[in-house]
Amino acid sequence: MQEHSLDPQNWEEFRQLAHQMLDDAIDYMRDVGERPVWKKVPASTHALTQEPLPQEGQDAAEVYATFKEHILPYTKGNIHPRFFSWVQGTGVPMGVMADLLASTMNPNVAIGDHAAMYVDQQVINWCKSLFDFPETASGMLVSGGTIANLTGLTVARNSFLEGVRDKGLSAFPQLVVYSSVETHSCNQKAVEVLGIGNDFFRRIPVDENYRIRIPELKAQIAADRAAGLTPFCIIGNTGTVNTGAIDPIGDLLAIARAEGMWLHVDGAFGALAYLVPEYQEEVKALSEVDSMGFDLHKWLYLPYEIGCALIRDKDKHRAAFSLQPTYLNNHDRGLSAGPDPTTNYGIELSRGFKALKAWMSIKNHGIEKFKTLIAQNIQQCRYLGQLIENNPQLELLAPIPLNVVCFRFNPSGKTQAELNDLNKELLMRLHESGVAAPSNTLLNGNYAIRVAHVNFRTRQSDMDLLVETVLLIGQEMVNG
Ligand SMILES: *Cc1c(COP(=O)(O)O)cnc(C)c1O
C-alpha cells in the first residue's frame, strides 16, 4: 500500500529553497525604502488570481517563483518608510522570524500543557503591566482591535445583564451605549452583534478638538433614563481614527462610576500614548477603566495580526465566555493539564501562536525602545505639522494631538468642492508616483490628506519628501 504525506520528498532540496526564500525576505525588508511604496496590481496578477483550484501539484520552486514575480512586488506598502495610510503597522523583522517559528511549532493555543500557553499568558500579563492594570485583571490576545473591542463589550453586556447568556436580550430592558461621533465603525458592529442595535448606540458630538462633549453625554444619559431605557456602557476613545483625538477618560470614568455604567476604551493605537511621559497625565485614567482594546500590530509595530483585550475583573471576563464541554476537560497531569483554556475568555477556540512575535520582539528590543519609537512618531508628526504650517499653499485641517495629521493643498481662490476634487486627485497621483502613501478622510466636509503614523522606518527626511511631492503634484495640477 502506498502511503502519502505532505512532507517534502527531499528535505535537502526543500532546505535550499527555504533558505532562498528567507534570503529574499531579508533583502526585501532591507531594501524596502528603495522601491515605490505602491504599484498598481497588473493584469498578469489579476489573471493569476482568477485561476481555478489546482487539481494537481506543482514544483515548490515554481510556486515560489510565481509568488515572487506576481504577488510580492504588488504589496500594500505598509512596511515602507513613507506609508502612512489608515492606521497600519510596519512589522518588526524579529516578529517576521517569530511568525515563521510559531508556524513551525504550529500549536493551537487554546488548551493543554505546553509552552505556548504560558507565553500567551505572559504576553497578556505584560500588556496588563503596560497600562498598570492590576495583576488580578485578565486579557485575551485576538486578531485585532475589532475583536478586542467586541470582547470587552461582550463582558460589559454579559456582566451587566445577569443571566443574559441563557435568557437572551428580550428578558431585559433596552440597553444604550454611548461614544463620540468620531468612534471607530467596529464599535457599531460590536453593538449590532451584541443585539443592542445601532439605534441605541448614541454618538455624542465633539468639541473643536474632536473630543467627546461631556455635558451632551450627561444630558443624553439623563434623557435616555427618563425615556425608560438603560444606559449601560460608555466607549471612550484614546486616539480616534480621523484625527487622533483623546477623549477625557478621567471624566468618562467619573460618569460611568456615578451612573453604574461600564467604561470600555477603544485605544486601538492611541492607548500606547500611555507609555510616553508627556501623555501620562492626560491618559492616566486608562489604568482604571473596566475594559480596553488595543492593537499590537499598530503602534507596537508587530506583524499582523495581533490585538489585545484587557478586562479589569477576571471573574466577569470568565463568566462572560466560559464553556467547557467534556471533550475540553482539563486533567491533573499529561498534555490535557495546563492553564485554564483560553476559550473560557473569548469567542474563539482555535488560536495560533501570535503571542510569540510579541514575546520575541519585546524581549529583543525591550519596551523602552518601543516607547522611544512611539515618541519619535509623535515628534515626526509635529514636524510634518510645522512644514505644513510654514507653507502658504498647505493647510492643516485639524489639531495634531497625537500621531495623525490631516491637511490639504490649498492654493488660494478655490471653493470647498474644488479643493475636495483637487486633493482627491492629488492623493491618487501621489500614490501612483510611488513616493508616499497617506490616506484620506472628510473633516467638516473638507477632504483631508491624512497621515496616520505608526511607522518605525520613517525618518524626518521622509516627511520632507512627502511635503515636497504633495506641493509638486499640486502645483502641476493647478498650473495645468
Ligand atoms: C484600527 C482601529 C480599530 C480596529 O482595529 P483592527 O485591528 O483593524 O481590527 C478600532 N478602533 C480604532 C481607533 C482603530 O484605529
Distance CA 117, CA 99 (A): 16
For residues 395 and 380, the answer to whether their CB atoms sit within 8 Å is no
Q: What is the reported pLDDT for 280?
A: 94
pLDDT of residue 325: 84
Amino acid at 224: D
Residues with CB under 6 A from ligand 1: 87, 144-146, 184, 186, 239, 241, 266, 268-269, 295, 307
Q: Dihedral sign for Cα 179, 185, 191, 194, please.
A: negative
**Nearest atom within ligand 1 for CA of residue 267:** 13
pLDDT reported for residue 327? 82
Nearest CA to ligand 1 atom 6: 145
Sign of the dihedral through C-alpha 358, 359, 362, 364:
negative
pLDDT tens, 394-424? Answer: 999 999 999 999 999 999 899 999 999 999 9
Contact 142, 148 (CB under 8 A): yes
Ligand 1, atom 3: closest residue by C-alpha: 145
- CB contact set of 111 (below 8 Å; sequence gap of 6+): 117, 328, 330, 336, 338, 341, 342, 343
pTM: 0.97
Q: State the pLDDT at residue 328.
A: 79
C-alpha cell at 404: 495623525
Which numbered atom of ligand 1 lies nearest the CA of 269? 15
**Which candidate, 269, 270, 252, 274, places its Cα nearest to that of 261?**
252
pLDDT digits (tens, 9 = 90+) for 438-466: 999 999 999 999 999 999 999 999 999 99
β partners of residue 133: none
pLDDT at 276: 98
User: How far does the centroid of ligand 1 lie from the alpha carbon of residue 305, in Å?
Assistant: 12
The residue whose CA has the least distance to atom 14 of ligand 1 is: 268
pLDDT value, residue 143 = 98
Other CB atoms within a 10 A radius of the CB of residue 59 amount to: 10
| CA of residue 190 to ligand 1 center, whole Å | 12
Place of cell 525591550: 366
**Residue 330: its pLDDT value, please?**
85
How many angstroms is it from 268 CA to the middle of ligand 1?
5
Strand 291-295 to 262-266 pairing: parallel
Q: Which residues of the chain have pLDDT under 50?
A: none
pLDDT at residue 480 in the model: 76
Instruction: Report the distance separating Cα 228 and Cα 175, nearest Å.
Output: 10
